[in-house]
Structure 1
Amino acid sequence: MKIIFDDRQRGHDPQFRLVDGRVVQNPDRPDRIDRLLQGAAEAGLHHDPARDFGMAPLAAIHTPRYLDYLSGVFARRSAMVPGLAEVVPSRFCPDRGGHYSDHVEAQIGFHNADTSCPVSAGSWPAIYWSAQTAISGAARILAGDRACYALSRPSGHHADRELAGGFCFLNNSAIAAEYLRAQGHRLAILDIDVHHGNGTQAIFYDRSDVMTLSLHVDPAQFYPFHAGGAQECGTGRGLGYNLNLPLPRGTGDEAYLAALDRALAHLRAFGASVVVVALGLDAHEGDPFQAMTITTPGFARIAGRIAGLGLPVLSVQEGGYLQPALGANLASYLRAFA
């Protein structure tokens, strides 16, 4: 089993985050990478470098104007604000169906859902190679691998077609899934991050060719708050192809596995040929978000259920933040496939 990773992902080193009216350090630290690499090594994975598949797979999910914004916003804003450390929105666009301004400050508000996605000089290369890492993992599946782990950072599942939020810029799992679908596979995206994958849901919400399933803390109590309810089942041709299983805060191994069994039953009925797992490790009992109480052995049980489908599985890294058990949690999960 391979781990795909590109070291350019370290270049995104966000500092800004606003919590309860206070500016605090953003939790998506580059140090996460070292903990995750250690966990993959403990699971016996072999490294494969990411390949560059260009912009086309990114543009299959995200709009050209959004990609142009992400790649150039820091340089454009820095030209107006000398000495700028990070681009952070100071206003937001209430109507994204209206006028699209050429002014960079207006675009910053248009393309951000919150203040958690600051952009610095090193952010775009990291964002780009995070997506290329996921696509490279998809290419390994197409080459015949039964399982692959893409260490994509920054994460992606909160990113919509042209909207950053929740530490996410490009939706790596969606990009990888669409790449596989275009090669003839029938795709299911199973999101096991502690937060609902609202960006992934929005991207595929009116489609029946990709099924989206998510287990997460009830959004009535937790980010992203405005998406992820059980009543959200899809629309148009996508009606019935989106499954949300919101769970109470504090959910532990047994209740989580029971919900996962429900999700996997739907996945089997869909007839997927490949599963993309949006792999969040932030449901762990020791994660800084303190939202669920999944144990380290619990991740092995989750992975065992997924591996039991007998399908190729591409696991794309989503959340899971700095804490002593982060690497051990990843190793526990990956051993079920390795």
Structure 2
Amino acid sequence: MLTIYSDDHHLHHGRSELMHGQLMPCFEMPSRADHVLQRVKDRELGQVRAPHDFGLAPLQRIHSADYLDFLKGAWQRWTTFGRDGDLLPSAWPARTLRRVMPTCLHGQLGYYSFDGGAPITAGTWQAAYSAAQVALTAQQAVQQGARGAFALCRPPGHHAASDLMGGYCYFNNAAIAAQAFIDQGHKKIAILDVDYHHGNGTQSIFYNRSDVLFASIHGHPEAEYPYFLGYAEELGDGAGAGYNFNYPLPAGSGWDTWSAALEQACEEIERYGADIVVVSLGVDTFKDDPISHFKLDSPDYLAMGERIAKLGKPTLFVMEGGYAVKEIGINAVNVLEGFESAQ
């Protein structure tokens, strides 16, 4: 299987995040992608290539122009204040406040964020831009006939909405790739999100559309991030009614429970008749993940890949979460090897 990867991800490295009342080193770190890349090479999964540059146009199909402009210029504006620490929001337009656009940097940062989990650093724009190009290059390989391709994206993307960053995510790489398939003539794309956390950004982008089906298996938002989206009754709206499927599961769920939800999601994708499947590949469902609470073990990821392969569709895998850094490469590549073995 072809892997697309860019070293530009090293340009983005947040210094700290708030967890349990303490500032801690960011769980989303460059070594995550490094471990996955090394495992790809060790297992001789296939060729590793650098991405092509498709420009901003494919990103503009998903993200608003004002959001892109803000993110591109935020760090330079921050440095004019003489600052060199991570740029993080401190206020958001919550329920009792108006969604107006302030003129100041911090106000705009809160407007374009839904949490404090997406620090902007000197290299964030380039890293996120390159991650989107990684996804688009892998998408091109599938479009041109590959049975499967792996976009080793970092930063991840599935929490990013059209004009919101959060949850370590800036550009929604899976959504950008799905839109590219639509723009290149496909009528039905399915996005299967297997990350522990609900892909709230992806859901919001396609919630009113029938040309992209979204199915997500995740920790129940009653108790798990992102808390405010990902419930089973969210089934789409307008033209998208009946094309959104959430499978929220309780903490402690193991392979038996999780794979039953996967089977339901795959059955919906089969009924839909998708031309292409895009997998938001998070492996933070692992039993030892430091910020998640499912109990999948490394061999389970082989079975996951095998079931996805049984859909019989060209498949693009887009890297999302996974924070047990020592095992992230094993688990991510197991999904890909399981998929490949089921030919």
Aligning the two structures, in what range does the TM-score lie when normalised by the shorter sequence? over 0.9
Asked if 2 retains the 8 angstrom alpha-carbon contact of 1:43 and 1:334, the reply is: no
How many Å apart are 1:331 and its aligned residue? 2.1
How many correspondences in the alignment? 337
Query: Aligned residue for 1:234?
Result: 236
**Aligned equivalent of 1:329, options 323, 328, 331:** 331
User: Which residues of structure 2 form unaligned runs of 5+?
Assistant: none
Higher mean displacement: 62-71 or 42-51: 42-51
Asked if 1 retains the 8 angstrom alpha-carbon contact of 2:308 and 2:339, the reply is: no
Give me the whole-angstrom Cα distance separating, in 2, the residues matched to 1:293 and 1:230. Answer: 21
Query: Aligned residue for 1:4?
Result: 4
Query: Aligned residue for 2:223?
Result: 221
Give me the whole-angstrom Cα distance separating, in 2, the residues matched to 1:89 and 1:290. Answer: 24
Give the match's secondary structure for 1:284. coil
**Aligned equivalent of 1:196, options 183, 190, 198:** 198
Query: Aligned residue for 1:93?
Result: 93
Asked if 2 retains the 8 angstrom alpha-carbon contact of 1:40 and 1:334, the reply is: no
Query: Aligned residue for 1:311?
Result: 313
Give me the whole-angstrom Cα distance separating, in 2, the residues matched to 1:187 and 1:283. Answer: 24
Over aligned residues, Cα RMSD in angstroms? Answer: 1.3
In percent, how many aligned pairs have the same letter?
39
How many Å apart are 1:39 and its aligned residue? 2.1
Give me the whole-angstrom Cα distance separating, in 1, the residues matched to 2:94 and 2:255. Answer: 40
Give me the whole-angstrom Cα distance separating, in 2, the residues matched to 1:324 and 1:53. Answer: 33
Give the match's secondary structure for 1:214. strand
Q: Does 1:61 align with 2:62?
A: yes
Asked if 2 retains the 8 angstrom alpha-carbon contact of 1:286 and 1:323, the reply is: no
**Aligned equivalent of 1:243, options 242, 245, 258:** 245
The equivalences for 1:63-142 within 5 A come to 63-79=64-80, 81-94=81-94, 98-142=99-143
Residues 323 and 84 (structure 1), Cα distance of their counterparts in 2 relative to 1, 3 Å cut: closer
Higher mean displacement: 89-98 or 252-261: 89-98
Give me the whole-angstrom Cα distance separating, in 2, the residues matched to 1:20 and 1:53. Answer: 40
The equivalences for 1:245-324 within 5 A come to 245-324=247-326
Query: Aligned residue for 1:158?
Result: 159
Give me the whole-angstrom Cα distance separating, in 2, the residues matched to 1:56 and 1:121. Answer: 23
Asked if 1 retains the 8 angstrom alpha-carbon contact of 2:162 and 2:205, the reply is: yes
Higher mean displacement: 52-61 or 245-254: 245-254
Give the match's secondary structure for 2:4. strand
Give the match's secondary structure for 1:164. coil
User: Which residues of structure 1 form unaligned runs of 5+?
Assistant: none
Give me the whole-angstrom Cα distance separating, in 2, the residues matched to 1:2 and 1:321. Answer: 24
Query: Aligned residue for 2:17?
Result: 17
Give me the whole-angstrom Cα distance separating, in 1, the residues matched to 2:68 and 2:132. Answer: 12
Query: Aligned residue for 2:33?
Result: 33
**Letter matched to residue 6 of structure 2:** D
List structure 1 runs of 4+ shifted beyond 3 angstroms.
95-98
Give the match's secondary structure for 1:161. coil
List per-residue Cα deviations over 1:129-185 (Å, max 9, x = no partner). 011100111101111101000000000000111111111111000000000111112
**Letter matched to residue 38 of structure 1:** Q
**Letter matched to residue 3 of structure 1:** T
